[in-house]
Chain A
Amino acid sequence: MRRPLARSLTALAAAALISPLLAGCGSDEPAGLVIYSGRNEKLVGSLIDKLEESLDTRVEVRYGGSAELSAQLLEEGDATEAGLFLSQDAGALGALSKEGRLAPLPQTALEKVEPAYRGAAGDWVGLSGRVRVIAYHPDKVATPPDSVHEVVKPEWKGKVGYAPTNASFQSFVTGMRVLEGDDATRTWLKGLKANGKPYENNLAVMDAVDSGEVSLGLVNHYYWYERVAEKGEDELDVRIHYLAKSDPGGLVNVAGVGMLKGADAEQSAYARKAVDFLLSAESQRYFADKTKEYPLAAGVTSDVKDLPPFESLTKPEIDLGELDSLKDTLAMLQDVGMV
């Protein structure tokens, strides 16, 4: 019994070690553009297919978490193969910009988007926006609050779900610090901690509201549409409520794109064309219809019913990609004991 086992193990090991070499043989034509995407393949995959058609070259995409990919790009430095970085949030783009890894974008591309939704150094631009909303369970909440200041009141004790490690939640806290000052924000955070239940991410908050585990949840609007797509609106109890204009809780966050330094001239040319494509009416319409986000390029508006007009939302008074203020926010959240 022992001999054959040892022998078959050796054979297996040899086969296993050789197989990767064989797999490497049949390579495709080289890609004209390599994209690192922190946005999920399910969200942007078919848009990338259209991009490939429009550029008339093979586009290779590496999917991952935005923060992880930005760390990878920083380690790769000039040796990176990537020409473009699609990020789920502004922070990851800000990290690359701060280390000088992003190439300046053409002015024509930048000007399509309001200054509030693009990098201060002109090296990244927002593509689509999502807004912070209050999710609620209609059986438990007759009239959902219009302001985040409501949710720290005693009547909501133990009834508010939130996701303190989520990037959008943290930018919202940063926005609140700018709008209302550090002291007021700290007090509010303490109130939320006393009243609320923390969850790992927005989807978990959404599901907790849906199941009635909590009555209210602080989330991004488009997760609700994701839940509707997965379960059907009739199967869902949870509903979302948009906050009053200029309430700090209704902050807009962006997903955006930046071009990487270190790409060769040919890839850079494709990358510039890709940015133009992503800001084109066709792509912006895609974000509006498929991901239910707000298109950020001028001239395109969302037709999704129930979505309030973009102009009525709270515009961030902060540079969304600025990391030092994010760090202060993180320190405050740690201080309060939330993360």
Chain B
Amino acid sequence: MTDPTTGHSADRPAAAATPLAGRRRVAAGRRPSPVLLVPACAAALLAVLPLGYLAVRALERGPAYAWDVIADDRTALLLGHSLGLTAAVVLGCLVLGVSLAWLTVRTALPGARIWSVLVTLPLAVPSYVAAFTWLSAAPGLAGFTGSALTLTLVSFPYVYLPVAAALRRTDPAQEEVSRSLGHGRVRTFLRVTLPQLRPAAAGGGLLVALYVLSDFGAVSLMRYDTFTRGIYTSYRASFDRTPAAALSAVLVLMTVALVAAETRTRGRAGHARTGTGTARPAEPAPLGRLRLPALGWCGAVVALAVGFPLATLGYWLAVGNSATWDPGTLADTSLTTLGTAAAGAALTTLLALPVGVIAARHRGRGARLLEQAAYAGHALPGITVALALVFFAVRYARPLYQELPLLVCAYAVLFLPVAAAATRAAVLQAPPVLEDVARSLGRSPLAVLRTVTVPLAAPGVAAGAALTFVVCMKELPATLLLRPTGMDTLATRLWTETGAGSFAAAAPYAAALILLAAVPSYLLGRHRT
């Protein structure tokens, strides 16, 4: 028989005869079609560019020097802090993300649609704005607690979005079977629903982990010494790129370990439905007496993650004298931001598509390597990725340097995993048997991708694109170094105003950033299947 996605002859013909053929379609050792492989490799190459730069800089003064930097006692301390913080934030995000996704997608929560937009907004709150607002209200939070709190509140949508998308596409029939066999709601959720969410939740959790590792804004304001803060100290206090590169290399190793760990949690189960016909939308579960607590939970999270920063911005406007902002500039900056972020999201999503499909449909070592490569840049601080692109662009792509296309490429390097994880989780839920059928009816691999795989995975891919769009909008360090000279985004304006202590003048830009992020969330809400 012929492989659905590749057109290559399958090396295990017996698989077709087993009843599990539909589920175990994801087999080891099969090679993806060149239609997927070539663009996926291109994406991976772009993503590993920063590694080449790190090698050059870290070894500039010989391996012994780099080793001295890494072997320092302080490195171990920073590593411990970073890992502890990562664990706490990932746990917090899983609890928030999964619970909110279930409430907004699967229950009769009043105003579920509005809630599903509101709970994605925290992603648009830059971590330093969140940290700043919390610190000004409760200085005692500085340190681990404050860092964990703010990072959880700004990054749980990384888990919420893919899990909500997965819940929408999960066939409720399995849960109904479980209920009919005598399992209660809770047991059904834990034993049937939750395992199906595992790829989405683990993928989201991985993104959160890498985000926490690379974050500088929140930990610097909260004064919690993490690995990334150590890297910034090297740039800022000793103006030295060599230790920064050596430490960054350690971050890359941590990324590889985390990606590998996440791969292990995936297990072998398939998550696509295999029956005939199409899945119905699930019947919303009645909340009964839990209606008020459920509303309270959603309300509290939104209030803390979005309401509180917005209220603080209002306060800045009220007490500051610098509020001489002009609506024309704000509109221009907003348009520039939207255009740049849209381009970043589009390129990232396109590059992530082949990577995500291969990661979902193939299990070989090559496929795993490809996926890991795509994640390479994600735990690196933005400044390091930006300097790597400066390094390469100045040497090999001079005409692009400090032009928009290079900035868009930087977004792709930084956020490729955001889109790839969403794509992978979505493709996993699309039944491979449909691809088989399309192939057997004579469609080419490209046509199968276009007419079967992508449309089936579209909601998940769109969620990934929206997520990428929002994180591109608030990206700061790479934007500062790579933007065309004179171009301003909302994030750079915010940086300028707060840097001069003009908080009232900064408030409109921060508010615009948060409100514009509502646009992709709203569109996604409308397109719900």
Q: Is the Cβ of B347 less than 8 Å from the Cβ of A17? A: yes
- Identify which of A207, A227, A326 contacts B136 (C-beta below 8 A): A207
A5-B527, A16-B339, A95-B239 known; A77 vs B462 contact (CB < 8 Å): no
A14 contact set on B, CB distance < 8 A: 346
Q: Taking the nearest CB of chain B, how far is it from the CB of A197, in angstroms?
A: 9
B394–A75 contact, CB under 8 A? Answer: yes
| A159-194 CB contacts (< 8 Å) to partner B | 165, 167, 170
B387 touches A13 (CB 8 A): no
Q: Is B500 an interface residue (CB 8 A)?
A: yes
A41: CB under 8 A from chain B? yes
Bound complex: CA A16 to CA B237 (Å): 39
A20 touches B321 (CB 8 A): no
Once A6-B454, A200-B220 are accepted as A-B contacts, the answer to whether A326 and B343 lie under 8 Å apart by CB is no
Determine if A223 and B345 form an interchain contact, defined as CB atoms under 8 angstroms apart: no
Bitwise interface map of A from 94 to 118 toward B, beta carbon under 8 Å scored 1, else 0: 1100000000000000000000000
Closest to A321 in B: B239
A60, CB-defined interface residue at 8 Å: yes
Collect the chain A residues with CB atoms within 8 Å of residue B403's CB. Answer: 24
Task: Decide yes or no: A198 and B223 within 8 Å by CB, A2-B455, A63-B496, A68-B481 being known contacts.
Answer: yes
Determine which of A15, A170, A230, A339 lies in contact with B320 in the assembled complex, contact meaning CB atoms within 8 Å.
A230
Cα–Cα distance between A152 and B340 once the two chains are bound (Å): 50
Contact with A along B467-505 (1 / 0, CB 8 A): 000000000010011000110000010001101111110
Q: CB of B139 within 8 A of chain A?
A: yes
- The reply on A92 being an interface residue by CB < 8 A is yes
Give the residues from 304 to 339 in chain A that come closer than 8 angstroms, CB to CB, to chain B: 323, 326-327, 330, 334, 339
Q: How far is the CB of B320 from chain A (nearest CB, A)?
A: 5
Flag whether B529 is at the interface (Cβ < 8 A): yes
**B222 (CB) vs chain A CBs: closest residue:** A200
A residues in contact with B410, CB < 8 Å: none
Alpha-carbon distance between A207 and B221 when the two chains are bound, in angstroms = 14
The CA of A253 and the CA of B136, in the complex, are separated in Å by 28
Please judge, given known A-B contacts A1-B527, A17-B347, A68-B383, whether A330 and B238 are in contact too, CB under 8 Å: yes
CA distance A334 to B243 in the complex (A): 15
Q: Among A13, A74, A170, which residue has its beta carbon within 8 angstroms of that of B237?
A: A170
Report the Cα distance A94→B496, complex, angstroms: 24
A68 touches B139 (CB 8 A): no
B525 CB to nearest chain A CB (Å):
12
Known: A1-B529, A16-B346, A213-B139. A230 touches B233 (CB 8 A): no
| CB-based contact A43/B455 at 8 Å | no
| Nearest CB of chain A from residue B128's CB, rounded to whole Å | 9
Asked whether B239 lies within 8 Å of A323 as measured between CB atoms, the reply is: yes
Number of interface residues of B (CB under 8 A): 66
**Contact at A6–B458, with CB atoms within 8 Å?**
yes
Q: Indicate if B274 sits at the interface (CB-CB under 8 A).
A: no
B405 within 8 A of A: yes
Interface residue A64 (Cβ < 8 Å from any Cβ of B): yes
Q: Is the CB of A9 within 8 A of B462?
A: yes
When A167-B237, A330-B233, A334-B74 are in contact, do A19 and B343 touch as well, CB less than 8 Å?
yes
Chain A nearest Cβ from B478, distance in angstroms: 10
Bound-state Cα–Cα, A336 to B386, Å: 32
Known contacts A6-B458, A16-B343; is A94 also within 8 Å of B237 by CB?
no
Smallest CB separation, B44 vs chain A (Å)? 20
Q: How far is the CB of B339 from chain A (nearest CB, A)?
A: 5
A230-B501, A230-B502 as given contacts; A5 in contact with B462, CB under 8 Å: yes
Interface presence of A81 (CB below 8 A): yes
B-chain residues with CB within 8 Å of residue A229 when the two chains form the complex: 321-322, 501
B339 touching A339, Cβ below 8 Å: no
| CB pair B477 A68 closer than 8 Å | yes
Min CB distance A155 to B, Å, is: 22
> 15 A–B contact pairs at CB < 8 A?
A6-B458, A13-B465, A16-B346, A21-B405, A23-B404, A34-B485, A67-B237, A68-B236, A68-B477, A68-B481, A81-B402, A226-B501, A230-B321, A232-B321, A327-B240
* A6-B454, A24-B403, A330-B233 known, 7 other contacts, Cβ within 8 Å: A6-B455, A65-B236, A74-B241, A165-B237, A204-B221, A226-B500, A231-B320
Please list the residues of chain B having a beta carbon within 8 angstroms of any beta carbon in chain A: 74, 135-136, 139, 220-221, 223, 225, 233, 235-241, 319-322, 339-340, 342-343, 345-347, 349-350, 383, 386-387, 390-391, 394-395, 398, 402-405, 408, 454-456, 458-459, 461-462, 465, 477, 480-481, 485-486, 492, 496-497, 499-504, 527, 529
Q: Which residues of A contact B (CB under 8 A)?
A: 1-3, 5-6, 9, 12-17, 19-21, 23-24, 34, 40-43, 60-65, 67-72, 74-77, 79, 81, 91-92, 94-95, 165, 167, 170, 198-200, 203-204, 207-208, 213, 223, 226-227, 229-232, 235, 323, 326-327, 330, 334, 339
